[in-house]
């Protein structure tokens, strides 16, 4: 932005930035006028006050006091435009001060200093406008006053030197005031432009931070949360109203504890990386100090490590998925031939139980291989979803009936609890049924197989706009040493299992924008599906 253009843009100032200096200058003028009037009563008997003790001088002092009172009231009420008031005050000051000088004996009275101050004040208040014009009027008035003194016989011709020097002083101070005011205007314009640039930069930073996929927390040396974005609230699962100008301990106590450890263990943790689990999600925290000393505060970046791991897993398995699906498809043909040949051999009348036992082993392993092939081919289904609006209450009731009939389970064995009856979500119906079937079958197999051994609960989620579907059994639970490997492909503790059930269930949930988590419970095993609420 051009500074000259910025200065010229405000030719008729009406803001408080212009009126405020005028008020201060009016107070000075009012003080001078009061001093001139008061001095007439206080020191009028002194010998050195003879030049100022005349009646015309006193009357002019009263007129000057009345003039300053009037202009002060006009500026307070902003009765007229700013430029007009400045010119009125400046010209009035010049004329009245010159008249006071004339009444006190001319330039030798010493009142010319007040004239110089009046010109400087008017030039600064008007920010340099008409400064030389005011100096010209003052010079003309001084020369006319001196000429009057000479013509009346009170002064000699060589006394013009004082008036000339005073006039030059008026021009010099007016020029300096003009230069200073011009620089002030340029500085104000530059500061205003810098303020606009900083405000724009702040807004851009706000937009960038709000749209970041990572959460951001700004914490000062007193652990007060100065700034955060919406993603941080979502990842930490906190209420936005509790995270405004509050302490980090109150908003996110786990993060505060990790930050204290990062500060105290500077030598051990130089990278500033920490991990935590919040509401079923593994988070990766990166502490970035705002100064060389960590105690001065930090910017905390929060990353959904579960999402990062899922993306890495998807990239790694993208090529593997297509390869395994093709291999599985090719395996099914010879596998079918082996199974058919085994059935033909069993139909023949062959002696010996060992022979039939070997055929039975072939059948069992053929069925197991076929089940593995079917599970592997299910991996590719995560990219071929057909989402639809599902009414969760009706869906889980229908699923419960089908599951109990198919698995030959009494309906009392599966309890159904619904806290949110009118809840809908977007999901592939076949894939959601497959996920629930896998979880419920595992739960019933490891449970006590009694009434209420398996429970399906539909409740409110930990975050806004989310519901959770819990599947809980009353079995012995998952040993702690294998909990971290629950969702790994081909990991199983069953001799006849494929190790792909939970892995495929989680992949199908993530493909539909949901999440599947294992929840530690004192008794039994619990899996929780986080679903997004769909508003019709």
Question: Distance between CA 97 and CA 121 in Å, rounded?
Answer: 14
Asked if CATH classification 3.40.50.2300 holds for the domain at 215-304, the reply, yes or no, is no
Determine the 3-state secondary structure of 479 from DSSP: coil
Under-70 pLDDT residues of the chain: 1-17, 43-51, 53, 78-80, 128, 153-159, 241-245, 279-280, 308-311, 313-330, 332-333, 335, 340, 344-346, 348-352, 354, 368, 371-372, 374-384, 495-498, 536
Confirm if 215 and 230 have CB atoms less than 8 A apart. Answer: no
Q: Distance between terminal CA atoms of the chain?
A: 50
- 């980090």: which residue's tokens? 248
Residues 6+ apart with CB under 8 A from 307: none
CA 74 vs CA 21, 81, 382, 500: distances in Å: 14, 10, 79, 88
Confirm if 358 and 398 have CB atoms less than 8 A apart. Answer: no
Phi, psi of 130 (to 5 degrees): 65, 25
* CA nearest neighbour of 424 among 465, 386, 453, 455: 465
* CA nearest neighbour of 427 among 415, 417, 435: 435
Domain 385-532 has what CATH class? alpha beta
- 């205003």: which residue's tokens? 192
**Which helix (H) or strand (E) segment is 454 a member of?**
strand 454-460
Confirm if 365 and 342 have CB atoms less than 8 A apart. Answer: no
| Tokens describing residue 429 | 């119906």
Question: Distance between CA 486 and CA 491 in Å, rounded?
Answer: 7
Give strand ranges (E) for 375-430: 387-391, 414-418, 424-428
pLDDT tens profile 61-81: 888 888 888 888 887 776 667
* CA nearest neighbour of 104 among 46, 32, 52: 52
Chain mean position to CA 7: 34
Residues 6+ apart with CB under 8 A from 228: 215, 216, 217, 218, 243
pTM for this prediction: 0.43
- Residue 495 confidence (pLDDT): 65
Q: How many CB atoms lie within 10 A of CB 82?
A: 18
Confirm if 414 and 454 have CB atoms less than 8 A apart. Answer: yes
Q: What are the start-end ranges of the H helices in 245-292? A: 248-251, 253-264
Query: Would you give the DSSP letter of residue 95?
Result: H
The domain spans of the chain are 3-197, 215-304, 309-381, 385-532
Residues 6+ apart with CB under 8 A from 527: 439, 443, 470, 471, 516, 517, 518, 519
Asked if CATH classification 1.10.20 holds for the domain at 309-381, the reply, yes or no, is no
Question: Distance between CA 498 and CA 134 in Å, rounded?
Answer: 99
Question: Distance between CA 418 and CA 439 in Å, rounded?
Answer: 18
| Tokens describing residue 339 | 């199974």
Question: Distance between CA 439 and CA 445 in Å, rounded?
Answer: 10
Handedness of CA 472, 473, 474, 475 (dihedral sign): negative
Q: How many CB atoms lie within 10 A of CB 393?
A: 16
Determine the 3-state secondary structure of 192 from DSSP: helix
HEC sequence for 23-82: HHHHHHHHHHHHHHHHHHHHCCCCHHHHHHCCHHHHHHHHHHHHHHHHHHHHHHHCCCCH
| Tokens describing residue 419 | 């806290």
Chain mean position to CA 72: 47
Residues 6+ apart with CB under 8 A from 512: 385, 387, 426, 427, 428, 431, 432
HEC sequence for 321-356: HHHHHHHHHHHHHHHHHHHHHHHHHHHCCCCCHHHH
| Burial status of residue 257 (CB atoms within 10 A of its CB: 0-12, 13-18, 19 or more) | middle
């Amino acid at each position: 932005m051009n500074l000259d253009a910025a200065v010229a843009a405000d030719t008729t100032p009406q803001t408080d930035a212009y009126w405020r200096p005028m008020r201060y200058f009016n107070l000075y003028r009012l003080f001078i006028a009061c001093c001139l009037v008061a001095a007439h009563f206080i020191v009028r008997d002194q010998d050195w006050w003879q030049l100022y003790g005349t009646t015309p001088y006193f009357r002019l002092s009263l007129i000057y006091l009345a003039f300053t009172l009037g202009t002060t009231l006009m500026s307070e009420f902003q009765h007229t435009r700013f430029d007009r008031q400045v010119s009125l005050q400046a010209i009035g000051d010049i004329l009245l001060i010159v008249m006071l000088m004339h009444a006190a004996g001319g330039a030798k009275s010493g009142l010319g200093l007040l004239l110089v101050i009046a010109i400087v004040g008017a030039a600064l208040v008007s920010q340099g406008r008409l400064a030389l014009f005011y100096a010209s009027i003052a010079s003309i008035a001084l020369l006319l006053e001196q000429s009057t003194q000479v013509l009346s016989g009170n002064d000699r011709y060589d006394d013009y030197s004082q008036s000339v020097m005073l006039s030059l002083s008026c021009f010099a101070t007016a020029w300096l005031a003009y230069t200073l005011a011009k620089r002030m205007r340029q500085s104000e314009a530059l500061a205003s432009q810098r303020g606009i640039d900083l405000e724009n930069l702040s807004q851009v930073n706000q937009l960038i931070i709000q749209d970041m996929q990572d959460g951001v927390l700004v914490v000062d040396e007193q652990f007060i949360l100065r700034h955060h974005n919406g993603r941080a609230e979502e990842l930490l699962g906190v209420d936005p109203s509790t995270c405004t100008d509050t302490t980090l301990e109150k908003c996110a106590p786990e993060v505060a504890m990790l930050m204290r450890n990062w500060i105290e263990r500077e030598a051990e943790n130089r990278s500033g990386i920490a991990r935590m689990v919040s509401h079923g999600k593994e988070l990766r925290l990166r502490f970035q100090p705002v100064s060389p000393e960590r105690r001065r505060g930090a910017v905390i970046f929060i990353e959904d490590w579960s999402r990062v791991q899922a993306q890495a897993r998807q990239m790694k398995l993208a090529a593997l998925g297509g390869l395994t699906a093709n291999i599985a498809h090719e395996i099914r043909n010879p596998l079918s031939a082996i199974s058919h040949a085994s059935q033909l051999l069993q139909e023949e009348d062959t002696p010996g139980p060992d022979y039939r036992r070997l055929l039975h082993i072939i059948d069992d392993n053929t069925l197991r291989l076929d089940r593995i092939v079917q599970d592997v081919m299910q991996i590719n289904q995560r990219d071929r979803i057909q989402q639809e609006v599902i009414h969760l209450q009706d869906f889980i009731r229908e699923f419960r009936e089908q599951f109990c009939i198919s698995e030959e389970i009494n309906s009392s064995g599966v309890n159904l609890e619904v806290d949110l009856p009118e809840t809908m979500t977007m999901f592939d119906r076949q894939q959601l049924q497959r996920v629930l079937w896998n979880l419920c079958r595992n739960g019933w197999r490891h449970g006590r197989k009694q009434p209420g051994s398996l429970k399906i609960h539909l409740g409110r989620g930990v975050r806004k706009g989310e519901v959770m579907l819990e599947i809980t059994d009353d079995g012995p639970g998952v040993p702690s040493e294998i909990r971290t490997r629950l969702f790994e492909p081909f990991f199983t503790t069953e001799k006849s299992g494929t190790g792909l059930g939970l892995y495929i269930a989680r992949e199908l949930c993530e493909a539909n924008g949901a999440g599947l988590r294992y929840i530690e419970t004192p008794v039994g095993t619990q899996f929780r599906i986080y679903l997004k609420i769909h508003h019709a």
